[in-house]
């Protein structure tokens, strides 16, 4: 249906970039690594692109930058291009040809909450048994509610992966994270909530937790490890344990940009693919070097040790309780970079589950939105160019001839539910907490 409109399928040699001076935005998180590496290793320059990378204050500023053209592209939350395209928040047609990483987030609670929570958690060899479910947090939340204290938690943006992960984890443990009702003008997301979630920019999470404004948060690295280092909180679970190998950030471009500058778009993806591969090569052998790059003040800027904690395959929960999680950050393996439609649809189902999409939608609607935002055609053109140049091998990519864009049903969720991207409405029926079917918040 869509293939007729694809301008990127031609296999002719890739032309010069139409626009070669580019400015990309990013947020100070370790998962911006592909951008930093593509810049520092000269991959952008190899494509004839002169790229400036600019840290942005928060996700809203970043998105507005891409919409009004101050930024040519940006490191984005997977939900952002989807939400912008369907008009939740600012409306604009943003597309993504490249998935930046899998996993990489964690949920941290304050020391006081951890002390209460820990009493409920089974121990083995003196250490808590992981993964830690929100069931153990539920009594703590209830005691706060009994005392009339709101249980506040932080996440980074209403359509962020972190919001959906935190909600998923809380709801799986029977804690209601609240609904949105944009049709009634309520975008606080706290209707019926037992835990009240609000937005805090990632770098300010530890400080907000320390100030006692929130009792926990869900954020990307290094801001969970930062809490351990500062001794102000304890990470209880990583998103790898909530949903193994979940898709995380994407690289977002304005649709207009991809139409006006097709060669530039493909070349950007080429550079990013090389960077992603470099990051995962030889069992993360390049990670220490990547950490050094990220610790520079113009990128993430946190201390080397803090970033290294999670980037080099380990994760420190309670102080001293450091465990191996080799896949905590995945940039390339498991086809991490391919923009799967099923990933897009999962985010859309979560928007529906929590009321950001207030009306019931048909399965076809989910497919259509996913196809208008996720652009494997651009990805494919870039991958094929790299294969042709001998830079990469066809085996490193999905088999383009047969790839449907839908991953097989995924089972690795903390609550044991199964996600099949080809049946979005049926998927939502499984959850006791959350909107489904014809539900509309009145």
Partner 1 sequence: MLSRLSSRSFIEGLVLPAVGIVIFLLVWQFSANRIDTSLGQFPGPVQVWEQIQNLGTEHARERDKEAAFYQRQDERNAKKLAKDPDATIKIRQYTGKPTFIDQIVTSLVTVAAGFIIANMIAIPLGIVCGLSASMYKAMNPIIQIFKPVSPLAWLPLVTMVVSATYVAEDPMLEKSFLNSAITVALCCLWPTLINTTVGVASIDKDLVNVSRVMALSPMVHVRKIVVPAAIPMIFTGLRLSLATGWMVLIAAEMLAQNPGLGKFVWDEFQNGSSNSLGRIMVAVLAIGLIGFLLDRLMLTLQKKVSWDKNAVLR
Reference 202, options 174, 175, 228, 226; nearest CA is 226
Asked whether position 28 contacts partner 1 by CB under 8 A, the answer is: yes
CB nearer to partner 1: pick between 85 and 295:
295
- Name which position in 7, 15, 48, 288 contacts partner 1 (CB under 8 A): 48
CA quadruple 104, 110, 115, 119: dihedral sign: negative
Q: How far is the CB of 235 from partner 1 (least distance, A)?
A: 16
**CA distance linking residue 129 with residue 88, whole number of Å:** 39
Least CB distance from residue 220 to partner 1, whole Å?
Answer: 14
Query: What is the smallest separation between the CB atom of 300 and partner 1, expressed in angstroms?
Result: 7
Q: How many residues does the chain have?
A: 442
Nearer to partner 1 among residue 11 and residue 297 (C-beta): 297
360 lines the binding site for partner 1 (CB under 8 A)? no
Burial of 408 (0-12, 13-18, 19+ CB in 10 A): exposed
Token representation of residue 275:
């960077």
Among the listed residues 203, 220, 252, 434, the single contact to partner 1 using CB under 8 A: 203
User: Which residues lie closer than 8 Å to 357 by C-beta, 6 or more apart?
Assistant: 86, 88, 348, 351
Candidates 153, 214, 300, 369: give the one binding partner 1 (CB under 8 A): 300
CA–chain centroid gap for 220, Å, is: 8
Q: Which is nearer to partner 1, 222 or 424 (CB)?
A: 222
- What is the Cα 400 distance to its own chain's centre? 24
Note whether 302 binds partner 1 by CB under 8 A. Answer: yes
- Find the binder of partner 1 among 45, 318, 368, 420 (CB under 8 A): 45
Asked if 213 is part of the footprint of partner 1 (rule: CB under 8 A), the reply reads: no
Mark the segment that binds partner 1 (CB under 8 A) among 115-123, 160-168, 300-308, 314-322. Answer: 300-308
Q: Is 20 in the site for partner 1 (CB under 8 A)?
A: yes
Point out which span in 54-62, 72-80, 321-329, 364-372 binds partner 1 (CB under 8 A).
54-62
Q: How does DSSP assign 48-87, residue by residue?
A: T-EEEEEE-SSHHHHHHHHHTTSSSEEEEETHHHHHHHHT
Number of H helices, E strands in the chain: 18, 18
What string marks each residue from 259 to 298 as x (binds partner 1 by CB under 8 A) or -? ------------------------------------x-xx
Q: Does 52 bind partner 1 (CB under 8 A)?
A: yes
Please select the residue that binds partner 1; options are 42, 87, 131, 288, rule is CB under 8 A: 42
Strands, E, within 27-178: which ranges? Answer: 50-55, 73-77, 94-99, 102-103, 105-110, 123-124, 127-128, 151-155
- Contact stretch for partner 1 (CB under 8 A) within 38-46, 267-275, 384-392, 400-408: 38-46
Output the CA angle 53-56-60, nearest 5 degrees: 135
389 lines the binding site for partner 1 (CB under 8 A):
no
- Give residue for tokens 């296999």: 11
Question: Whose Cβ is closer to partner 1: residue 226's or residue 265's?
Answer: 226
Q: How far is CA 57 from CA 28, 29, 95, 229, 425, in A?
A: 9, 12, 22, 23, 36
Nearer to partner 1, 64 or 396 (CB): 64
Which of 253, 262, 272 shows the shortest CA–CA distance to 76?
253
Whole-angstrom distance, CA of residue 204 vs CA of residue 232? 13
Which of these segments, 53-61, 181-189, 316-324, 340-348, binds partner 1 (CB under 8 A)? 53-61
Distance CA 301, CA 61 (A): 20
Which C-beta is closer to partner 1: that of 19 or that of 423?
Answer: 19
Compute the least distance from the CB of residue 26 to partner 1, in Å.
12
Binder among 207, 409, 418, 426 for partner 1 (CB under 8 A)? 207
Phi, psi for residue 99 in degrees, rounded to 5: -90, 130
108 binds partner 1 (CB under 8 A): no
Of the pair 99, 226, the CB lying nearest partner 1 is at 226
Residues that bind partner 1 (CB under 8 A): 20-21, 28, 39, 42, 45, 48, 50-52, 55-57, 61, 68, 70, 203-204, 206-207, 210, 226, 230, 232, 295, 297-298, 300-303, 306
């Amino acid at each position: 249906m869509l293939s007729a409109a694809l301008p990127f399928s031609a296999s002719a040699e890739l032309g010069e970039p139409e626009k070669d001076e580019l400015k990309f935005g990013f947020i100070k998180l370790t998962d911006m690594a592909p951008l930093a590496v593509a810049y520092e290793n000269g991959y952008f320059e190899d494509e004839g692109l002169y790229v400036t990378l600019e840290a942005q204050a928060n996700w809203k500023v970043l998105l507005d930058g891409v919409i009004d053209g101050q930024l040519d592209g940006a490191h984005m939350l997977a939900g952002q291009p989807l939400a912008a395209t369907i008009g939740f928040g600012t409306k604009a047609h943003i597309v993504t040809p490249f998935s930046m990483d899998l996993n990489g987030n964690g949920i941290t609670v304050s020391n006081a909450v951890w002390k209460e929570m820990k009493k409920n958690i089974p121990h083995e060899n003196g250490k808590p048994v992981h993964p830690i479910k929100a069931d153990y947090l539920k009594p703590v939340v209830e005691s706060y509610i009994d005392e009339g204290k709101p249980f506040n938690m932080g996440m980074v943006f209403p359509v962020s992966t972190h919001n959906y992960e935190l909600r998923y984890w809380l709801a799986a443990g029977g804690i209601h994270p609240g609904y949105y009702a944009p049709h009634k003008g309520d975008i606080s997301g706290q209707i019926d909530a037992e835990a009240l979630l609000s937005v805090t920019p990632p770098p300010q999470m530890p400080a907000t937790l320390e100030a006692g404004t929130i009792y926990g948060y869900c954020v990307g690295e290094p801001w969970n490890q930062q809490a351990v280092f500062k001794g102000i909180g304890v990470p209880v679970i990583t998103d790898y344990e909530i949903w193994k190998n979940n898709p995380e950030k994407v690289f977002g471009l304005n649709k207009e940009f991809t139409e006006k500058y097709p060669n530039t778009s493909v070349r950007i993806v080429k550079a990013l693919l090389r960077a992603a591969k470099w990051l995962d090569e030889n069992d993360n052998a390049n990670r220490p070097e990547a950490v050094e790059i990220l610790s520079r003040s113009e990128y993430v800027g946190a201390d080397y040790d803090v970033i290294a904690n999670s980037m080099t395959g380990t994760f420190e929960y309670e102080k001293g309780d450091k465990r191996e999680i080799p896949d905590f950050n995945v940039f390339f393996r498991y086809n991490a970079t391919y923009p799967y439609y099923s990933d897009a649809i999962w985010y859309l189902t979560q928007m529906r589950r929590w009321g950001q999409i207030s009306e019931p939608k048909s399965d076809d609607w989910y497919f259509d939105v996913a196809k208008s935002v996720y652009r494997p055609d651009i990805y494919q053109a870039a991958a094929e160019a790299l294969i042709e140049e001998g830079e990469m091998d066809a085996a490193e990519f999905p088999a383009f001839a047969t790839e449907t864009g839908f991953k097989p049903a995924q089972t690795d969720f903390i609550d044991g539910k199964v996600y099949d991207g080809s049946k979005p409405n049926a998927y939502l029926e499984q959850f006791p907490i959350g909107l489904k079917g014809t539900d509309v918040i009145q």
